[in-house]
Structure 1
Amino acid sequence: MAKEKVVLAYSGGLDTTAIIPWLKENYDYEVICCCVDCGQEEELDGLEERAKLSGASKLYIEDITDEFCDDYIVPCVQADAIYENKYLLGTSMARPGIAKALVKVARLEGATAICHGATGKGNDQIRFELGIKALAPDIKIIAAWRDDKWNMDSREAEIEYCKAHGIDLPFSADTSYSRDRNLWHISHEGLELEDPAVEPNFDHLLVLGVSPEKAPQEGEYVTMTFEKGVPTSVNGKEMKVSDIIRTLNKLGGKHGIGIVDIVENRVVGMKSRGVYETPGGTILMEAHEQLEELVLDRDTLRTKKDMGNLMAQIVYEGKWFTPLREAVQAFVESTQQYVTGEVKFKLYKGNIIKAGTTSPYSLYSESLASFTTGDLYDHHDAEGFITLFGLPLKVRAMKMAEIEKNNK
């Protein structure tokens, strides 16, 4: 009788490698690995051999890089979605696409369950499981780290377990950060970062670029264009979004852009410290914001800031496949109709310095903003406006003065 199948969200890292023999030993499943490629690049090298040597029957590598860029990154850029004013959601944005790909493979294989290696302390368990529940409520979810049969509580224990099952790994418990990488960013956790009082060892840690101190002494000008809030070119060369991000990653990494050291509030309630490298994403978000401030009116821009914060919270909490995300995204897309134009800036030692923004839909009027009186605005017009705008303040002050007088 054929064994039941489980699809394992497989990265090739220590956790998911150890889970393969664990699933076979404790559940007697046929283990089918699925690595979802969101732009991890060299991290995919040798993955199929490692999966099969660890006991998997097969490995799927699902390339969703362009889908990740077009369907998840672009909506978040258009929303200016930044979690707690610092985190550009690199890991969070990828999880719904990964969940969708896992469900696709599970359906194709007729799998009973989907397993992930996210720990019981992190956000990813929530993101993976909410995505799977929304897309395939009938499929069983196995969270290895929360399973009663899982008796490994450290990286050292996982390494020993793998060795006991004949699996040699290129990992060391004391020299490896916990990392997550895709086209948008790479995150770093663990080792010295677990103590917020300790400065990050950037010489040892950084992967996508250099620290600002080691960036070139000369700045570099970059020009970008957008069409309805979607990036279309870099330095005059039209490209698809994924190639734009790749290009900006190289430019940003070279100049020390997008390195963030943050203590964030996880969904599960604890604080955690991590260092994120998002060189291209930081440039892209900044360029988009520069164009929006020229094109959007004050009320729309103010409301959009609130919706961007809401979008960031939705994505961070793994609620992508919800009516609320669809509604917020619909609002954001309606604001992007005229976010078209060109943005120029200079990259210099971790900084993105404005160098000129233009748009055919710019609401900036030089004649209005100028100190010289123009046809549309008379300085005397401000007097009546201030009288009405300040009326509540004046009425309250008069009432308080009356109360104070009566109390004497």
Structure 2
Amino acid sequence: MGRAEKVVLAYSGGVDTSVCIPYLKEEWGVKEVITLAADLGQGDELEPIRQKALKCGAVESLVEDATASFVKDYAFPAIQANTLYENRYPLSTALARPLIAKLLVEAAEKYGADAVAHGCTGKGNDQVRFDVGIMALNPELKVLAPAREWGMSREEAITYGEKFGIEFPVKKSSPYSIDRNLLGRSIEAGPLEDPMTEPPEEIYLMTEAIANTPDEPEYVTIGFEAGIPVSINGNNLDPVALIAQLNQTVGKHGVGRLDMIENRVVGIKSREIYEAPALLVLIDAHRDLESLTLTADITQYKRGIEQTYGELVYRGLWYSPLKAALDAFIQKTQERVTGEVRLKLFKGNATIVGRRSPNSIYTPDLATYGADDQFDHKAAEGFIYIWGLPTRVWSQKTR
């Protein structure tokens, strides 16, 4: 890997990305480091982070508010695809990575940098997502990953940074590794590395403990247009406001927690805790609305597409040709997925209790068992004979 003159570094303000700044300059001979912090609705005050990058030696410190794009261009397509990795994780953290990769590439092109960098280690998924995303968007850019090569422990990294005047707050260090954005939080490491250890209540911020949730259920109706969530209880909301409001509403009822053993891209199993209240509920409601508006063959075929889609996103292939092709299929299926889904929130559960759509293909006079039944029961006998004929012939020949 060749070295670089000017680098755009993905910057969070933490130990690793802060130490990356002097490390890139002193050890790898980079002349100029430009940092980029992405605001994805995580709730942090980013101006101190911007200033910290300058104190650490960055020649320029960029802050990009990409929350609206994050929801509209990344979360909403994932909801349309009912995206759940390993049938559980809604990719709240993974969906941020292709967007950050895009911001890095755009900044590199704007400032004439010949490389981008990140602070990922060699064990995680994010290194794959960043590296592959960047090379898909601009294969000419170098990708530098100092933390993958420097071989320093966290304590050694802090000592290295202090040599260059970087200050690290003196406080009791949390044993957890936490990532947050508008869509959710991921928590790992520390005591959670024992799969048998129950997560302590202190790690959760977006969801209430069941003991503290309301003693009365709350009903919420989510409106969709062409597979995109647009309203809550009849009130149209912009994408960011919709996610934020639903996070609060759903989270206070204890809905949205996941505790799972996950298969990382690099082959390691990892114990992960997630909070993603709005995203999980939206996927569940969207899938239910599809059951009302799509034909059986599309619904059933789409399930396999959804699994592949989730694997592509998790494994850093957001910008791949296969992902683009699947997007085209999914967008076609969403044309009629318009309507409302009603949920009952109570004690950690979000139960779907109703749905309606102007495009519904549920036909009451065919489905009913009452006097209004229009189904021709006599037709069933002939259908069953034809349907079962291959089985009958097989059975006769194998007796």
Instruction: Judge conservation of contact 1:68–1:94 (CA < 8 Å) in 2.
Output: yes
Once structures 1 and 2 are overlaid, which stretch shifts more, 297-306 or 48-57?
48-57
C-alpha distance in structure 2 between counterparts of 1:171 and 1:285, whole Å:
41
The alignment yields a C-alpha RMSD, in angstroms, of: 1.7
C-alpha distance in structure 1 between counterparts of 2:267 and 2:290, whole Å:
34
Secondary structure of 2:195's match?
coil
**CA pair 120-65 structure 1, distance change in 2 beyond 3 A:** same
C-alpha distance in structure 2 between counterparts of 1:305 and 1:400, whole Å:
35
- Partner of 2:65 in structure 1? 63
Cα deviation digits, residues 96-150 of structure 1 (max 9, x gap): 1111100111111111211111110111111101111111111111111222xx1
Instruction: Judge conservation of contact 2:8–2:108 (CA < 8 Å) in 1.
Output: yes
- Partner of 2:129 in structure 1? 127
C-alpha distance in structure 1 between counterparts of 2:292 and 2:115, whole Å:
50
C-alpha distance in structure 2 between counterparts of 1:22 and 1:173, whole Å:
25
- Partner of 2:85 in structure 1? 83
C-alpha distance in structure 1 between counterparts of 2:228 and 2:170, whole Å:
40
C-alpha distance in structure 2 between counterparts of 1:215 and 1:43, whole Å:
29
Question: How far apart are residue 256 of structure 1 and its match?
Answer: 1.1
C-alpha distance in structure 2 between counterparts of 1:375 and 1:189, whole Å:
55
**CA pair 351-56 structure 1, distance change in 2 beyond 3 A:** same
- Partner of 1:199 in structure 2? 198
- Partner of 2:106 in structure 1? 104
Cα deviation digits, residues 131-183 of structure 1 (max 9, x gap): 11111111111111222xx131x322222323333322237685241111111
1:9-408 to structure 2, matched below 5 A, reads 9-29=10-30, 30-42=32-44, 44=46, 46-147=48-149, 150-152=150-152, 154-170=153-169, 174-202=173-201, 204-372=202-370, 376-401=374-399
C-alpha distance in structure 2 between counterparts of 1:265 and 1:211, whole Å:
27
State TM-score, norm by structure 1.
0.93
C-alpha distance in structure 1 between counterparts of 2:205 and 2:14, whole Å:
17
> In structure 2, what residue type is equivalent to 1:7?
V
> In structure 1, what residue type is equivalent to 2:25?
K
C-alpha distance in structure 2 between counterparts of 1:156 and 1:215, whole Å:
40
C-alpha distance in structure 2 between counterparts of 1:389 and 1:43, whole Å:
64
Instruction: Judge conservation of contact 2:289–2:340 (CA < 8 Å) in 1.
Output: yes
> In structure 2, what residue type is equivalent to 1:301?
T
C-alpha distance in structure 2 between counterparts of 1:46 and 1:220, whole Å:
39
Secondary structure of 2:90's match?
coil
> In structure 2, what residue type is equivalent to 1:316?
Y
Secondary structure of 2:27's match?
helix
**CA pair 214-155 structure 1, distance change in 2 beyond 3 A:** farther
Moved over 6 A (4+): none
Question: How far apart are residue 373 of structure 1 and its match?
Answer: 6.4
**CA pair 246-52 structure 1, distance change in 2 beyond 3 A:** same
C-alpha distance in structure 2 between counterparts of 1:115 and 1:173, whole Å:
29
C-alpha distance in structure 1 between counterparts of 2:193 and 2:287, whole Å:
33
C-alpha distance in structure 1 between counterparts of 2:249 and 2:354, whole Å:
19
Percent of matched pairs sharing the same residue = 46
**CA pair 98-106 structure 1, distance change in 2 beyond 3 A:** same
What are the ranges of 5 or more consecutive residues in structure 2 without an aligned counterpart?
none
C-alpha distance in structure 2 between counterparts of 1:127 and 1:220, whole Å:
38
Instruction: Judge conservation of contact 2:120–2:148 (CA < 8 Å) in 1.
Output: no
Instruction: Judge conservation of contact 2:227–2:338 (CA < 8 Å) in 1.
Output: yes
What are the ranges of 5 or more consecutive residues in structure 1 without an aligned counterpart?
402-408
C-alpha distance in structure 1 between counterparts of 2:45 and 2:325, whole Å:
36
Secondary structure of 1:165's match?
coil
Secondary structure of 1:90's match?
coil
C-alpha distance in structure 2 between counterparts of 1:170 and 1:281, whole Å:
34
C-alpha distance in structure 2 between counterparts of 1:370 and 1:83, whole Å:
37
C-alpha distance in structure 2 between counterparts of 1:174 and 1:62, whole Å:
28
C-alpha distance in structure 2 between counterparts of 1:172 and 1:308, whole Å:
44
Secondary structure of 2:121's match?
coil
Question: How far apart are residue 309 of structure 1 and its match?
Answer: 0.8
Instruction: Judge conservation of contact 1:174–1:191 (CA < 8 Å) in 2.
Output: no
> In structure 2, what residue type is equivalent to 1:79?
A
Question: How far apart are residue 261 of structure 1 and its match?
Answer: 0.5
C-alpha distance in structure 2 between counterparts of 1:207 and 1:46, whole Å:
22
- Partner of 1:405 in structure 2? none
Question: How far apart are residue 43 of structure 1 and its match?
Answer: 5.3
C-alpha distance in structure 2 between counterparts of 1:176 and 1:303, whole Å:
43
